[in-house]
Amino acid sequence: MLEPKFMRSVLLGLAAAVVVLVLPSLALLALQQEYLYNAYVNLYAALAALAAAYLCFLATHRLGGSPPHVVRPWMLTTLGLGLWAAAEVIWLCYTVTAGVPSDVTVSDFLWLAGYAPLAVGLWGISRPFLGKLRRLEYAKGQKSILLVLVTGFTLLALVALEKTLVYGVEKPRIFLLNVLYVLLDIFMLAVSLTSAMVFSGGLLELSLRLVAGGFILFTVGDLLYTVAETYEFAPADIVYALSYPVIAAGLWTYLKYVFPAGSGK
């Protein structure tokens, strides 16, 4: 059972992350400072992504001396987040020097490359405990994941049909790339929800629920970018950027509560 004081600290941290992102962003938009707004939002996302990757690295380091099947999934998760952090930093450089990119960039290849190690890593963390999930027959949890998948795919299909049949697609390459991102986000969401279900009632439950919450935000953000057909869309920017602090909060919970400093090497 998580201590109320600890829960409050997590919620306060997330609230602070929202305020630090939203208030300056709204102020810059109100002042019509679009360049500064884009630079600020992307700087925020890059720093939050680096923080999440670093926290995952610390978690992996504290598992030093554990069996390979325990350490390897965390190494893969760290690799995935590291690729995403690198993508965010490069995207920030594009934004500051030449404006928000309107075509495929190096960052896109890094983002796409990061999904595989992230998925394998999260699956590997929960895999030893999947027998528990099957024995306890979490029918409701399985139905919830199925509902998430069906809802996500349905929304994506509706958006794709509306854009192609009603309005037409102005930038087919960007549109298809964003559709791919949403599909991968939905897949990652299903994997992270499965992990959270496996540890339901355990010490990792809150940590993995926060990670799943981060992927919910990724999915919504990328879906909004798909609808807008541009990476200059404030609602999507805010939702997307907040995904990293939520994932970082999950990893921080793991480090502070599940595996505190001094328990590893």
pLDDT (tens, 9 = 90+) of the chain, 265 residues, equals 556 777 788 889 999 999 999 999 999 999 999 999 999 999 999 999 999 999 999 989 888 777 888 889 999 999 999 999 999 999 999 999 998 887 889 999 999 999 999 999 988 877 765 555 544 445 445 556 666 666 766 766 666 655 555 455 667 777 788 888 888 888 888 887 777 666 665 556 778 788 888 988 998 888 888 878 788 889 999 999 999 999 999 999 888 776 665 555 4
Q: Would you say 249 and 55 are in contact if contact means Cβ atoms under 8 Å apart? A: no
Determine the straight-line distance between the first and last CA of the chain, rounded to whole angstroms.
Answer: 26
d(CA 95, CA 39): 6
Return the pLDDT at 139: 47
Rounded CA separation 48/248 (Å): 7
Residues 49/107, Cβ–Cβ less than 8 Å: no
